[in-house]
Amino acid sequence: MIVAERKPLSEIRGFVEDYHRLLIVGCGTCATVCLAGGEAEVKVVASGLRISFLRDGKEVEILESCVTRQCEPEFVEPLKEKVLDEAVEAVVSLGCGVGVNFLAQTLETVPVFPGVNTKFFGAAVEPGVWVEMCAGCGNCILHLTGGICPIARCSKSILNGPCGGSRDGKCEIDPEIECGWALIVERMKRLGTLDKLEEILPPRDWSTSRHGGPRKVTHQEVAAVGPQQGEGEP
């Protein structure tokens, strides 16, 4: 899932200083699970802002809402109606960056501010601890590395690791960070496939990643009939 972390209240307040009617919107999916921007956090942020404004003698109306997913029209469209009906001046989204983008695109003239910092694609390895596990690079090579991603989990994203900086299973940049390549070696040893690491992985084609420009996925069977994406198109 997408893992996010709430921004400090003072930073959020800085965004909305000039508005008098705000809507704080949570997201019921990833942001809820990682305790950054679900219904509970909407309440926390809204109350915090109310107290903060009250202390300074500012009158600000703060509305609260939480939608199932901020990244799909069917959940965001009703929100648009609410914003217009209730004359909301600005929105703080506690969804991930996708949610902020999507709301901003949908709400046209109403400003949308980020209430969380979107961190990575990861998993909860223990209660309250999430670890990055995928970099979304667009061309999965996990079949070559025992199911553990060197791009996401090695500090240098090297494909023929480990580098010389692996120490007791940790990365040299921080003793709190596991060496992704130590994990790969350990895993492949258990699978009995360590010899596969003898293969030199060639330089990668990063054009499938963000380096190839903003990406788009079209599911032909579902997408509305429209201009076909030719391979030669930019």
Partner 1 sequence: MTTRSNLQEVLAAGHFAVTVEVGPPMDCDASVVSEKAEMLKGVADAYNVTDNQTAVVRLSSIAGCLLIMRQGLEPVMQMTCRDRNRLAIQSDILGACALGIRNCLCIAGDHQSFGAAGRLKGHPGAKNVYDVDSIQLVSILRGMRDEGVQQGGDPIETRPPLFIGAAWTPLGDPVEIRPLRLKKKVRAGADFIQTQGVYDVRRFAEQMETVRNMGLHERTAVLAGIIVPRNLAMLKYMDKSVAGVSVPSDLMKRMEAAKEAAGKDKKLARRNQAEEGVNIAVELIEQVREVPGVRGVHIQAIEWEKRLPEIVKRAGLLPRPNVNGKEAGDGTEGQNHGG
Residue ranges binding partner 1 (CB under 8 A) = 155-169, 172-174, 179, 182, 185-186, 194, 197-198, 200-204, 206
Q: Which is nearer to partner 1, 3 or 185 (CB)?
A: 185
Closest CB 160 distance from partner 1, rounded Å: 4
Comparing CB distances to partner 1, the nearer of 1 and 159 is 159
Half-sphere exposure of 179 (CA within 13 A, CB side): 18
Contact present, 187 and 148 (Cβ < 8 Å): yes
Q: How far is the CB of 210 from partner 1 (least distance, A)?
A: 12
Cβ distance 114 to 7 under 8 Å? Answer: yes
Residue with tokens 């009158």: 59
198 versus 233: smaller Cβ distance to partner 1: 198
Least Å distance between CB 216 and partner 1?
23
- Smallest gap from Cβ 231 to partner 1, in A, equals 18
Nearer of residues 99 and 180 to partner 1, judged by Cβ: 180
CB 122 within 8 A of CB 130: yes
Neighbouring residues of 211: CB distance < 8 A, sequence distance ≥ 6: none
Contact residues for 132 (Cβ-Cβ < 8 A; gap 6+): 3, 119, 120, 121, 122, 152, 153
